[in-house]
Structure formats: C-alpha cells, structure tokens
Chains A and B, each alone.
Chain A
C-alpha cells in the first residue's frame, strides 16, 4: 500500500483518500478536459492546415531561394531570385499595375458601397429586393461573370455596338484590346461583382448605429452630409477599416478576372503579379523564381497589415 502526506505532513495510507476523493483517470481530470480535449477537436483541421497551408508556405520560402523548374531537384542559389526581381522589367510593370488596381479598388467600390448603403439605410419598402439585387453579382462565379462581360464588351455585338445602333456612339470600342483602357475595363468588371459585397457589409454595420444619434443631430440642425461624416463614418469605422485592409490585400492577389479576360495582355498592359507568378511557374517552368515573386507578394500584404497594426498601436482609431 502506498501513502500520501496529509496537510500536517504526516504519512497516511492512500486508501483513506480513495474513500473521500476517488482517484480520477487522466481523461477525467479537469485540466485534461479544459486544456487538451479542445485541441483534439481542432487537431484534424489543424493537421490539414499544416499539410496544405503551412507546409507549402514554408516550402515556398525554401524554393524561392532555388533554381527549380517545378519538376525534380531544386538547386540552391541563395538570394539570386530576389536580385533578379529588382532587374526584371516585367515585375516592375506588374507591380505598378497592382498599385493602380489598389488605388482603383480603395476608392471606387468603397465609395460606391458607402453611398449605396447610406441611401438604402432608410429604405423600408422593398429593402430586401434592393439589397439582394445589388449583392447578387457577388455570388456568381468569377469565370462566368468574366465570360459574360467579355461578350458584353464585344465591340461588334456587345453593349457598345447596340448603343451605337441607337445613335449613341463612342462605346463600340475594343476596350479589352487597347493598352490604355484594358486595366480600367477589367477593374470595372471586377468591381461590378465586388462592390455589392462592400455595400452589404457597410449596411449591416450602419444598422448598429443607435438611431437616437441621428435624431439628436437633426435636432441640432445637421444635414445629411454632416450626419454621414460625423455619425455614420465613425460608427462603421471598424468595418470600414477592416474592409480597406482586406481590399488592399486582395488587390495584390487579384488573378481570376485578369486571367479570364486578357491573360495579362495586350502587350502586358493588364499583367499583375499573380499572373506573372502563374506564368513563371507553369509555362516558363521557373517555379523557384515564381516562389520568390509569390513570397514578395506575401511580404507586401504583410507590410500592409503591419502598417495598420503600427497605426493602431499609435492610437489611431482603426
């Protein structure tokens, strides 16, 4: 028989405690149930995440420092791929296009979403219909949306041609075939599908603003613009800032609409970093260089997140 020390330090038989407090098996203990069991529940998804996200992410860091075709052995070349990036005109051009894309998506859909949400806020009759119709494009697959818009933008059979037949000229142009108009045109198509999503989020956020704030403002003589500026915007600031953050990150990852509509052409006028990465990895058999570009994109996204964190720590209300 074993023994334990009691509160006074005297040795007493264990059987005395077994009678008072049954010995618990390890899975019956509170520590196990609170600290270990929850982890076991998330373990499967954690393992999957490690296998398909974390593992490849770490691997891509390694491959970014190799010369690798995507097939067979990789040859270690240190930072050569990153040095090459700094001398690659295609990379600079694609990066510039990403910045233009970012500027477009941080302004146009955000502004459209805010305005539409503000206008829809007081609407009661048919509100669901309006919201649904504006949000609906977001749920369509991007490939379908892009294919439909390619037909609509056809200079001979699309909207422009129809308007031209009605005497409204100037729009029967090949917008996707002109280096000056191709990027804004693809952004227009992407925005057509995207801005309703922003509108819905802003609207949901606006509905949480207490109505008495608006009433008080009206009593003080505030007009609609002043209500919007001084009540609505501060009231939805967390949502607004979060969506600006996400839109910034998404702008560096944009791929589908550009790939379906132009594959980066003509003459590279719509090429962005993700398109460049795809081509390098799968058509030029330069998976190592593509990894370096992909890692650079991740660093850019990390930079954006870092800026937000720093601003928040400095007291910005974001």
Chain B
C-alpha cells in the first residue's frame, strides 16, 4: 500500500469536497460590501450597452453629489445589457435595489410578477403628484397601484439642415402635404430628402410608424385603438401609413430601400450634416450627437414639430426608462429617499444640462437650464406645453404591447417590399393586439382629459 498516495488522495478528495460545498454556497450568497460610513448601500445598475459617457456623467455629477451628503450611499455599477442582467437577477430573487427598466411595459411585467413594490405611499410621502406631470405617474401604474416612475421623456421632431434650406430657399413644412411636396422638390434638386437608416437599429422603423400614425390619424384615433375602442384595421390608420410607404418606395429615405437597410446611423447623420440629405425625423436623443456632425461639416441644424395632417403641433411621448424599487431590497425607504433626490427638478436639470440626458417628466425651472442649447431647451418647453394641453401622441415603445410593437416595426418592411398589402399588415397587427389586450399585457394608457 502506497501510504503517500493514500494521504494525497485523502487531501485532494477533502479539498474537492470542501470546494464543491463552498461553490454551492457561494452560488446563492449575496455579498453586500460595507460602506465607508457603515450605513446602507443602495445598488444601482446603469446600462452601458450603447456607451458609458452618460452613465459616467450620472455617477460623477449626480450620484457623487448624493453620496457626499453623508446619508445612504448609492453604489452604481456600469452594466452592459443592463436590462437583461436585471431581469435575470430579479427572477433569481436578487438584483439591484434600484430597478431600472427600458419602459413602462417592462415595469408592468415586473409589477405583475411581484418583483417591485407599490410606490403609492411613497409618492404621497414625498408629494410626487405635485412634482411630476399628471399623465406621467399614470404610466407607472399596474392595475390600481403605482409601481414605476417614468424617466427620460422623449419625443420626435423634424430636424432639418438649416444651411441647406436657406441656400435653396426651402421652408420647413408644417403639414404632411407640404412635407411630401417638399420631398419631391428636394429630390428634384439632387438631394436625398430624409437621412434615415436602420442597418444598426432595425426598430428605427417604429419611429416613423408612430409619427405618421399620430400626426395623420391623430392621437385621439390612436388612443381609441390602444384602448380597444376601434380596431387597428380602421381606414384612418391605413391612410396614415400610406404616405410613409410612399416615401420609402420613392426612395426618399436615404436614396432607396436597399440604402435605408444598409446605411449606418453615422453615415446617415454625416450625409445630413454635409447637406447630402435635407431632413431627419428623429428623437430628442439625436441632439446629443448633432453638433458633432454639423460642427465638422460647418453647417447648421434646427428643428420644427413633425408635420401633421392639419398643421397642429403634436408631440409623441416616449419614455426611455423607468425606476422602481426591488421587492427584495433591504433598503426600500432609503431607495425612495434617493428617488426623491434623483427626480428633483435641480437634479434633473443637471442630468439634462450636463449629461445630455432627456429629462424626467418634472417641471424644471428655466433658470436651472441656463447654458443648455437653445434648440434643446425649446423642445423641452414645447413638449411640456403640448403634453399639458393634451396635444401628445403615443410612441410605440412606450404605449404599445410588446408583440404588437415588434410586429409593427418588423412586418412593415414586407409592405414596403410589396410582399403584403397594408390591409393584410394591419389585420395581422389587430390579431396580435387583440390577444395581448385580452391578456392584459398592454401598458397603461392615461385617459385623455
């Protein structure tokens, strides 16, 4: 008998067993590092899939300021694919204290699963109804209770190359008819009417679908469709999407469908800035990069509201993210306290003016936005005014149920390709929407007052 071998075997086997036991324990353990002050530490995962510039700014200019107050500390982790990571962690009973989702429909699912807590009492405690726009807290409801706070209010407008317009004597359109006529004029001048592309982000289709629905059929019709009062096969809806198909088939988006499908965002923006393309229907997020392209090209940009059928000023509302409190958080009261800081007008002003983030639906005093680009300040002001006056429309990623949303932006390409008719497309949308509506999977839609 080789006793040395036996001794080694015993040691190895013992170590293995210990390792196995420890790895099993480690897999379920949650490590919560102690803070410098020894007080509560709130965890927060900031998504950096599209880059970390904004997240770094949030950490350096907002979270650091909060932590410097000396109370509960916020530990922000920059997390690629943040939503997928959050979703997985929550399902496993863990996840950050501060739960960030990509929109109300996702928060609604978390609420239905009991993974986030109701915020009604907290909202009353901090008087959030006085801070937030009335429609916005309605968006965070699931059933009768408030579960999420909408953040990053977005809208879409018609950007135009001001230098190019002035050179050619063109006037920005206010109605859809004017926009179609101008597109023909621009095209005849050898310029691409719209710098649009979806090679890197195929859901970009939904920007245009939403804009044409809201600005031609009108928000009231879309509200009726979203609440099941009229079907998506309504002739008004079909008529609203026909001009979009016309723009695509005329090759007015980036010069043709094949170019629309293969041009990168950077190339499209560059063409726009250099005057190779005249206009761009895009969200407020474009402003963060607009100056980079236009400064390089030595030209100027500006914006007007997206033209509508009758020339009325309508802004579609979009929510970029929502904030909630993890049901498994040890620090729910502390997290609520942080929310009160984060969504205060002063903090939001910092996020907008310094980080270039779209604001939460709170009223930010004009003096707090000093230094902000006048064009961005004008959008914030006009959007708030329009929303207060009920002149707001519905972006697909905020108000539409997920399957319907994906169907709308994916299958529209078959209409553009001539594979299916507009009626067939909308009949498919209606079938899917009816299923989701019946199952209660549609996000909340605030009543139009």
In the bound complex, CA of A283 to CA of B261 (Å): 20
Q: Mark B24-47, 1 if CB is under 8 A from A, else 0.
A: 100100000000000000000000
Contacts of A174 in B (CB 8 A): 256, 258-259, 261-262
Note all chain A residues with C-beta closer than 8 A to B218. Answer: none
Does the CB pair B6–A28 fall under 8 Å?
yes
- When chains A and B are docked, how far (Å) is the Cα of A51 from the Cα of B260? 44
In the complex, the answer to whether B24 meets A47 with C-beta atoms within 8 Å is yes
- Considering the complex, which residues of chain B in the window 165-208 have a beta carbon less than 8 Å from any beta carbon of chain A? 198-199, 202
Q: Could you tell me if B258 and A40 are in contact, using CB atoms closer than 8 angstroms? A: no
Of the listed residues A33, A262, A264, A284, the one surrounded by the most CB atoms of chain B closer than 10 A to its CB is A284
Q: Pick from B24, B87, B262, B414: contact of A176, CB below 8 A.
A: B262
Select which of B113, B414, B416, B417 is within 8 A of A71 by beta carbon. B113
**A265 to chain B: which residues have CB within 8 Å?**
198, 202, 261, 410, 413
| Cα A99 to Cα B318 with chains together (Å) | 40
- Smallest Cβ distance from B412 to chain A, in angstroms? 9
Q: A284–B109 contact, CB under 8 A? A: no
Q: How many positions in chain A have a CB within 8 Å of any CB in the partner chain? A: 41
Q: Determine whether A131 belongs to the interface, using a CB cutoff of 8 Å to chain B.
A: no
Known: A40-B17, A73-B113. A282 touches B84 (CB 8 A): yes
The yes or no answer to B112 lying at the interface (CB within 8 A) is: yes
Pair B27/A51 contact, Cβ less than 8 Å: yes
Please count how many residues in chain B sit with their CB below 8 Å of the partner chain's CB atoms: 47
User: B115 on the interface (CB 8 Å rule)?
Assistant: yes
Residues of B within 8 A of A237 (CB): none
A267 to B417, CA, bound (A): 7
Bound complex: CA A134 to CA B152 (Å)? 49
Chain A nearest Cβ from B257, distance in angstroms: 7
Could you tell me if A41 and B10 are in contact, using CB atoms closer than 8 angstroms? no
Q: Does B378 make an interface contact (CB < 8 A)?
A: no
Expressed in whole angstroms, the Cα–Cα distance for A153 and B416 within the complex equals 23
Q: Is the CB of A69 within 8 A of B259?
A: no
Q: Establish whether residues A37 and B9, one from each chain, have CB atoms under 8 Å apart when the complex forms.
A: yes
B10 contacts A27, C-beta separation under 8 Å: yes
Q: B84 near A43 (CB under 8 angstroms)? A: no
Q: Which residues of B lie under 8 Å from residue A283 when comparing CB positions? A: 402, 406
Across-interface contacts of A41 in B (CB, < 8 A): 16
- B375 close to chain A: CB less than 8 A: no
Contact assessment for B402 and A284 in the assembled complex, using a CB-CB cutoff below 8 Å = yes
- Chain B residues closer than 8 Å to A268, beta-carbon distance: 410-411, 413-414
* Residues of A close to B198: CB separation below 8 A: 265
Q: How far is the CA of A264 from the CA of B202 in the complex (A)?
A: 9
CB of A177 within 8 A of CB of B257, answer: yes
Interface string of A258-299 (1 = CB under 8 A from B): 000011111110000000000100111110000000000000
The answer, yes or no, to whether B121 is at the interface (CB within 8 Å) is no
Interface assignment of A72: CB less than 8 Å from any CB of chain B: yes
Query: Are B9 and A177 interface neighbours, CB within 8 A?
Result: no
**Residues in B whose Cβ lies below 8 Å from that of A40:** 13, 16-17
Instruction: Kindly state whether residue A196 has any CB partner on chain B within 8 Å.
Output: no
Chain A nearest Cβ from B435, distance in angstroms: 10
Interface centre among A28, A33, A51, A177 (most CB of B within 10 A): A177
A70 part of interface (Cβ distance < 8 Å): yes
Contact at A267–B419, with CB atoms within 8 Å? yes
A44 contacts B by Cβ under 8 Å: yes
B16/A43 in contact, CB under 8 A: yes
State whether A44 touches B13 (Cβ < 8 A).
no
What residues of B have a CB within 8 angstroms of the CB of A24 in the complex? 1
A28-51 CB contacts (< 8 Å) to partner B: 28, 33, 37, 40-41, 43-44, 47, 51
Q: Which 9 A-B pairs have the closest CB atoms?
A: A72-B113, A177-B258, A177-B261, A174-B258, A267-B413, A177-B262, A174-B262, A267-B417, A266-B261
* Apart from the given pairs A28-B1, A174-B258, A177-B258, 19 other A-B contacts in the complex at a CB distance below 8 Å: A28-B6, A41-B16, A44-B23, A47-B24, A69-B441, A70-B87, A70-B91, A71-B109, A156-B267, A174-B262, A176-B199, A176-B262, A177-B199, A264-B410, A266-B257, A283-B406, A284-B403, A285-B109, A286-B403
